[in-house]
Amino acid sequence: MSTMTNAKGKSSQISNYGKKIHPEREVKTVLQQPKRVFISSLIIIFIAIVLNTIGAHFNAQNHFLKNVINNQTSELPITLDEVDSSSKNGYSFLVNNGDNNTDSLPLQEEGNSHQVNFESQKDKSDVNAAEEKVIYSFLATTEQDIDQLSIYEQPCSPTGYRYESSIGSAPETCGITFTDHLLDQDQVNKLRTMAAKYIELFGETTTTNRESLNLQWINLHTLFRKAPKKSLLSDDEYELLINASVAAKSVTSMAFGIPEDRLFFTTVCQFTRYEPVAAFSEFRHIDKVRSPELIVTSILWLSTVDVDFEGGRLEFLNGPGDEKFNPYLIEPKKGRYAAWTSSHENPHGVHELYNGERLALIFAFTANPKFGHSTIESLRTWATLKKPSFYY
Ligand SMILES: O=C(O)CCC(=O)C(=O)O
Ligand SMILES: [Fe+2]
C-alpha cells in the first residue's frame, strides 16, 4: 500500500489494486480470519467423511454387480466373440425345381432340390464364419431356360383394381408371368449396351420412393427429350425399344387377360441399374400402393445373377403354401422377361447387391389413358413437346 495526500491534506491508504480501504474495516477483516478458517476446515472434513462413506458403498455394490455378471456370462452357451462372427452375408439357397428345361411352371414339387452356395465378396471374413442358412424357393433359376410363357397365378386383390373394374379393364388373371424368349439375344445385348450407356450419361438416383439407394435409372421419356438435341439414340436403338415394348405389351395382355388396347405405357418406362454403392437398403413394396395408376409392372433383365453381379435376386412374398409372406425368388437372367400385376397379390423387393452391375429395362402399364401412352412412339411424341402436360 502507498499513502496519498488529498487536496484537503487528509491522508488515506490505497491498496496495491488502487482500491481505497477504510482502516477500521481492514482491522475487522483481519480479526475474522481465524474463525473462517476454522469453520471451513470443519466443513471440508465433514464432506470428506461423507464422500468416503458413499465411495465405500459404491465399491461394494460394483463388486456385487461384477460378480453377478461374471456368474451369468460364464453360464451362457456362447461367448461374445462367437456372436460377432456369426455372419448374415453367406447364404445357401435351397433350390427346389432344379429342372433345367421346364415348359410349365415347376410349382410346389418336393425333392429335386440342390444347394447353391453363394459367397458374398463384400466381407470374406463374415462369409468364412457363416453358419446361418437361409432357405429360399425359386420361381425361376438361372439354370432354367423358360422357353414358354409361364404363369404363377395368384387371386387378384379384391380391392386393388376398383378403378380398372369400373372401366372394364381389370385383369382376368393375376400373378407373375415370365419367359426367357421375349426377344432374341442379339437384341437383348444391344439393349444392355444402351442401358449401360444412357445410365452412365444421364442416370438419376434418389433415396425416396425407390427400392434401393443402389438404383439408378433413366426414363425413356427423359431420353427422348434429350435425344434430338444431343443427336443421341440412333434409329436402330429407337426401333429396338419399340420392338421390346410391343413384345412386352403383347405378353402382358395375353398373360393377364387385359386387351392390348386397354394397356398404356406410363412414364415409368426406364432403364435401371443397381450397383452396390451403399449398404443394404432394399424395401419390400407393392407397386400399386406406390403408384396407384399402375396395373402391370414388367422387367426385361439385361444382366445375369452370379455372372454380372451377386445378390440382387427379385423376391416375391407370395410363394406357395398357406403361410403369408413366403419368399419366392426369380433369378435375373439376361433376356428374361417378367411381368406381374401391380396390386397387393404381388408384394416384392430386390435383394441387396454385393457386387457388379444389374441392368434392366422396365415397362410399367396403366389402364388409365390419362396416365399413359398407347405406344412408345406416342410416349416419345409427348415427351418432346415443348411443355409436356405432366411428369411424375
Ligand atoms: O428390378 C427388379 O427386379 C424389380 C424392380 C421393381 O420392383 C419395380 O420396378 O417395381
Ligand atoms: Fe416393384
ipTM reported for the complex, 2 dp: 0.98
Quick check: 143 pLDDT over 90?
yes
Q: Do the bridges between strand 137-140 and strand 328-330 make them parallel or antiparallel, or are there none, so unpaired?
A: parallel
For residue 374, give the 3-state DSSP assignment.
Answer: coil
> How is residue 99 written as a grid cell?
429342372
Quick check: 7 pLDDT over 70?
no
Nearest CA to ligand 1 atom 3: 314
338: Cβ below 6 Å to ligand 1? no
Q: Which residues, in sequence order, are CB contacts of 360 under 8 Å at separation 6+? A: 195, 271, 272, 273, 299, 300, 301, 302, 303, 332
Quick check: 83 pLDDT over 70?
no
CB atoms within 10 A of CB 342: 28
Angular region, 311: left φ>0, alpha ψ -120 to 50, beta rest:
left
Dihedral sign for Cα atoms in the order 276, 277, 283, 289: negative
What are the backbone angles phi and psi of residue 189, rounded to the nearest 5°? -60, -40
Task: Choose which residue among 362, 363, 366 to substitute to test ligand 1 binding: the one with the highest number of ligand atoms within 8 A of its C-beta.
Answer: 362
**pLDDT the model gives residue 50:** 62
> How is residue 250 written as a grid cell?
403383347
**pLDDT the model gives residue 288:** 95
What are the backbone angles phi and psi of residue 302, rounded to the nearest 5°? -115, 10
Residue 226: which pLDDT band, with cuts at 50, 70 and 90? confident
For the chain, give the mean pLDDT.
Answer: 73
**pLDDT the model gives residue 277:** 66
Dihedral Cα 137, 138, 142, 143, nearest 10 deg:
80
Nearest CA to ligand 1 atom 1: 350
Task: Choose which residue among 212, 284, 302, 314 to substitute to test ligand 1 binding: the one with the highest number of ligand atoms within 8 A of its C-beta.
Answer: 314
* 194 alpha-carbon distance from chain centroid: 25
Residue 340, Cβ density class (10 Å: 0-12 exposed, 13-18 middle, ≥19 buried): buried
Q: Look up cell 419367359; give the residue.
A: 179
**pLDDT the model gives residue 176:** 97
Quick check: 57 pLDDT over 50?
no
**pLDDT the model gives residue 390:** 57
**Ligand whose nearest atom lies closest to the CA of 282:** 1
**pLDDT the model gives residue 160:** 95
Rounded distance between C-alpha atoms, residue 335 and residue 187, angstroms: 9
Of 343, 336, 318, which Cα lies nearest the Cα of 171? 343
* 209 alpha-carbon distance from chain centroid: 10
Q: What is the pLDDT of residues 162-185, one digit of tens each?
A: 999 999 999 999 999 999 999 999
Dihedral Cα 255, 257, 260, 266, nearest 10 deg:
-70
360: Cβ below 6 Å to ligand 1? yes
Quick check: 77 pLDDT over 60?
no
For residue 294, give the 3-state DSSP assignment.
Answer: strand
**pLDDT higher for 390 or 270?**
270
- Containing H/E element for 118? strand 114-118
235-256 vs 185-202: helix axis angle to the nearest 10? 110
Least confident piece of the model among 42-46, 172-176, 356-360: 42-46
Please report the atom of ligand 1 found closest to the CA of residue 285.
7
- Containing H/E element for 149? none
Alpha-helical regions (H) of the chain: 23-75, 80-85, 124-129, 162-166, 185-202, 220-230, 235-256, 287-290, 376-383
**Ligand whose nearest atom lies closest to the CA of 302:** 1
> How is residue 238 written as a grid cell?
429407337
The one-letter amino acid at 162? R
Of 131, 99, 120, 92, which Cα lies nearest the Cα of 312? 120
Nearest CA to ligand 1 atom 10: 287
Q: What is the pLDDT of residues 237-249, one digit of tens each?
A: 999 999 999 999 9
339: Cβ below 6 Å to ligand 1? no
